[in-house]
Structure 1
């Protein structure tokens, strides 16, 4: 068994997601476990090259984790032949330009979603990567959540019978930034910077629906800005120009109807920050980030609507927990390992730029649906 090291240019690790999930819990965690194991038993370690706009922030992260390579010069990092992979976790508005540079430099590209602000740009990235012959992938982490892996197990096992509908609830209250600090950066609420919950979350919902239940054939959505002004990181009040909540209805192939609410202006009254209820002819399930509960038709109670009497039944007590049956690793790390294998030995990696473009397309059509107040069919890209 041999061990080799490849360079990975990581652009955007000063942000919360890029730092915590991709650098610390994925790349550095992979190295701590001895690298990515290839099919022949060899191992590959990753040498992160940190790239960003702030030299001070990069230096702080590099010192914290003993990383020798960091720079504000993206072109220089891409010019190094030892750096095989380029990863992008920047703000969405900066992604296309940087990814195109990396494609031109012949790097294999792994990027956060959304891959672009428009479907046309996202499709152009996919076409450019294909023309250059570089491997490409997009982060689709929610497919690897323990709760959704359990849900996939139920689907594959035929638990639901014919699936009828999917109901999703996602979100939490993001503070306005005045009397309590906001949990999300201010660019999320500026449309000119690529913000908005539709562009952020509809690509997620696209790959979840597409991979678990079937192709999205139409969308009807209402996107709104419930909080019109917020306070940024410098304490300055600004106008929110992007949507902070969206209410969507998606029709899927086979007749499945999905309804998903996404909001940064909702207070949580559920077990997890995201939950999906799936109802089928033979059973139902409620899946969250980690847990999944089921109710089979043979154990379904028979409620009777009677507003004159208090409800004494505890409906949640009639559901059964789905066991883990396996150990669940970090979903971001799993995808990183899969992408490295894809680059080095052509292992399958279906979450490519084309799938990312379909997610951006759904977000774009969702915003159009909201603006025009109508249902819009989703053409195949």
Structure 2
């Protein structure tokens, strides 16, 4: 079977997300399966070209996985004869400049979110990519999670009737770093370094709501810094300047109300780290990362409020499980495969930099809403 090699400049893969999800569980996983079949008898073989600031970390990573191409120079990486795609998983403040450089070099663009620190910059990147004629995509991984794909199956099948509301709970306790090491990098809690719950998670909620339920039309948000001091990777105490929790109310097209709580200062009493409950006139469903449970109108019990007696209804047992009905791959890998096919075969691809800009728009409006204490309309975006 003929093999086509495509070089992917991967910037930021010494970080947690870039390494685990994008390099190991996506690109290297595609190589482990023998490459990506293109449907015409050819197989695509992704060749990572690692770039970053630390030569020691890059060399260690390359040696660990048997990779041969790495450099601390972005220009050198983009000039590599195999390089066709540039991927960015850096911290947000470093992203825009690198993306501009890669677009100017004529590379196809695939990037983590948020695509930029401001809506103006995000739209400008989308225009630059369009005008350069390069393929471009923004990571929207949660759309490919098994639980949310099952939820979308219910929506597409008309299960809910008229959808009334969405309630989301996301988060977990991120240790402060003093007596137990934090699970997230310290920059997440510094606004000057691009941190903050709204900037991190509202882009996710935008594409989840837009892509599964209905387009977002307005946002009201309240933010908080619940843990004002944390300890960084070097054991130094620092002041948290970025929100570690955000409470958002979103109005969706059709009068649907969505309310999503996001917090890194909450202890989990859920089946999964994120769950969305969708309620409709004909039924309801609760979707997490992997599972989705539903309750039809005909099977809905009739509880009666009586605080003087203990609850006797086994509420959780009254829901049914949506069957898998298919095999689900890693969500990041699934989107990578779609983007690679888009670049090499011209197949359709929806999640471009304009879609990424919509996430930045919602984050920007959410932060403004929190500052001003009022609801913000979400205008349509176009290039």
TM-score if structure 2 supplies the norm length? 0.99
Following the alignment from structure 1 to structure 2, what is the Cα–Cα distance between the partners of residues 81 and 218?
46
> 2:361 matched to 1:361?
yes
Which has the larger displacement, 193-202 or 32-41? Answer: 32-41
Following the alignment from structure 1 to structure 2, what is the Cα–Cα distance between the partners of residues 174 and 268?
11
Alignment correspondent of 2:76? 76
> 2:189 matched to 1:183?
no
Following the alignment from structure 1 to structure 2, what is the Cα–Cα distance between the partners of residues 4 and 41?
11
Alignment correspondent of 2:167? 167
Deviations 1:171-230 (Å, cap 9, x if unpaired)? 000000000000000000000010001000000000000001111100000011111110
Alignment correspondent of 2:117? 117
> 2:240 matched to 1:240?
yes
After TM superposition, the structure 1 = structure 2 runs for residues 116-265 of structure 1, keeping only pairs within 5 Å, are: 116-265=116-265
- 1:98 is displaced (CA, Å) by 0.3
> 2:37 matched to 1:13?
no
Q: Secondary structure at the match of 2:62?
A: helix
Following the alignment from structure 2 to structure 1, what is the Cα–Cα distance between the partners of residues 129 and 376?
29
Deviations 1:133-174 (Å, cap 9, x if unpaired)? 111000000001100010011111111011000000000000
Alignment correspondent of 1:42? 42
> Unmatched 5+ residue regions in structure 1?
none
Alignment correspondent of 2:346? 346
Following the alignment from structure 1 to structure 2, what is the Cα–Cα distance between the partners of residues 367 and 41?
49
Q: Secondary structure at the match of 1:254?
A: coil
Alignment correspondent of 1:283? 283
Alignment correspondent of 1:267? 267
Deviations 1:219-263 (Å, cap 9, x if unpaired)? 000011111110000000001010000000000001111000000
The root-mean-square deviation of aligned C-alpha atoms, in Å, is 0.7
Following the alignment from structure 2 to structure 1, what is the Cα–Cα distance between the partners of residues 379 and 196?
23
Deviations 1:42-99 (Å, cap 9, x if unpaired)? 1110110110000011111001000011110110111124200000000011000000
> 2:27 matched to 1:27?
yes
Alignment correspondent of 1:65? 65
Alignment correspondent of 1:106? 106
Following the alignment from structure 1 to structure 2, what is the Cα–Cα distance between the partners of residues 153 and 302?
27
Q: Secondary structure at the match of 2:286?
A: strand
Q: Secondary structure at the match of 1:317?
A: helix
- 1:36 is displaced (CA, Å) by 1.3
Q: Secondary structure at the match of 2:254?
A: helix
Q: Secondary structure at the match of 1:160?
A: coil
Q: Secondary structure at the match of 1:329?
A: coil
Following the alignment from structure 2 to structure 1, what is the Cα–Cα distance between the partners of residues 54 and 349?
33
Following the alignment from structure 1 to structure 2, what is the Cα–Cα distance between the partners of residues 162 and 149?
19
- 1:124 is displaced (CA, Å) by 0.7
- 1:41 is displaced (CA, Å) by 2.4
Runs of 4+ in 1 over 4 A off after TM superposition: none
Following the alignment from structure 1 to structure 2, what is the Cα–Cα distance between the partners of residues 46 and 293?
37
Following the alignment from structure 1 to structure 2, what is the Cα–Cα distance between the partners of residues 213 and 286?
13
Deviations 1:293-350 (Å, cap 9, x if unpaired)? 1000100000111111111111111101111111100111111111111111111110
Following the alignment from structure 1 to structure 2, what is the Cα–Cα distance between the partners of residues 331 and 50?
22
Alignment correspondent of 1:300? 300
Following the alignment from structure 2 to structure 1, what is the Cα–Cα distance between the partners of residues 41 and 327?
22
TM-score if structure 1 supplies the norm length? 0.99
Deviations 1:19-49 (Å, cap 9, x if unpaired)? 0100001001101111111131211101101
- 1:6 is displaced (CA, Å) by 1.1
Following the alignment from structure 1 to structure 2, what is the Cα–Cα distance between the partners of residues 325 and 229?
47
